[in-house]
Amino acid sequence: MKIFLDTANIPSIKTFVDMGVLDGITTNPTLIAKENREFTELVHEILGLVPGPVNLEVVSQESAGMISEGHDLAALGPNIVVKCPMTAEGLKAVRKLHRDGIKTNVTLIFSPNQALLAAKAGADYASPFIGRLDDAGHEGMKIIEEILSIYRNYGFETRVLVASIRHPVHVVQAAKLGAHVATMPPDVLDKMVKHPLTDIGLKRFLDDWQRAGLKLPQGRPSSHMKPKPLVQRA
């Protein structure tokens, strides 16, 4: 499963790129506005850090505007994915952008029916918002299970991008179901790194090492100290 970070915050992106665990980025108008920076400059900095897909969202409500914006966004870099809303106009835009060779992501999906239509329109990604479904009293992961089953039944190549993730348990559930991508805010990915038992174990190891007064070797060993190769006997 691919892990995307749902942010436009450069320090957060750098942190997880350096760990080697980040496969891509998703953004939306709210996340972009939160950074209080010039849009194109910010996007180019993100593209310079992330080799994988970078999702940028259109803001027009009509398909003609979405298509025009989609082409402008795609021109910013070869790994741009254009996000369009799950509306009739959004599907029209996805269909045209797909035919123009531009990768797309249909966002704000809340039902298997919407995900089915997104796939038929040619979307590369479909983004069901499970956290918001849970908030409204629905079972978000059940929707993921149903969408994946539908896509498998008919061989759709659209990838399920699980969005609106609230906590690490959502990530595990999505992975067990076989979702293609999970996108999450930085605090959720940070929680995935940490575990109290890891901290306890590490502290014990270091305490024991210090009590024993041990030291690691300094510098590289000289050539005459290198171990001799083993001689294989017939």
Q: What is the CATH number of the domain that holds 132?
A: 3.20.20.70
Within a domain: 228 = no
Whether 83 is in a domain gets the answer: yes
In a domain, 153, yes or no: yes
- Asked if the structure places residue 227 within a domain, the reply is no
* H/E stretch holding 68: helix 63-74
Query: What is the pLDDT, as a whole number, of residue 230?
Result: 57
Nearest to 186 by CA among 17, 69, 44: 17
In a domain, 94, yes or no: yes
Q: Residue 177: which of 150, 148, 157, 156 has the closest Cα?
A: 148
Q: 178 lies in a domain?
A: yes
User: Is 219 within a domain?
Assistant: no
Cβ-based neighbours of 124, under 8 Å, separated by 6 or more: 81, 98, 103, 104, 105, 157, 158, 159
Write the pLDDT tens digit of every residue in 177-217. 999 999 999 999 999 999 999 999 999 999 999 999 999 99
Active site (annotated) includes residue 83: yes
User: Do the domain assignments include residue 71?
Assistant: yes
pLDDT band, very low/low/confident/very high, at 110 (cuts 50, 70, 90): very high
Poorest-confidence range of 91-95, 130-134, 144-148, 226-230? Answer: 226-230
- Out of 2, 14, 34, 83, pick the active-site residue: 83
Which sign, positive or negative, has the C-alpha torsion 100, 89, 158, 69? positive
Give the pLDDT confidence score for residue 122 in this predicted structure.
98
pLDDT value, residue 219 = 82
d(CA 120, CA 141): 22
Strand, helix or coil for residue 108? strand
pLDDT of residue 218: 87
Q: What is the pLDDT of residue 59?
A: 98
> Average pLDDT, whole number, for the chain?
94
* Six token digits for residue 71: 């082409």
Report pTM: 0.90
Number of domains forming the structure of the chain:
1
Structural domain of 92: 2-193
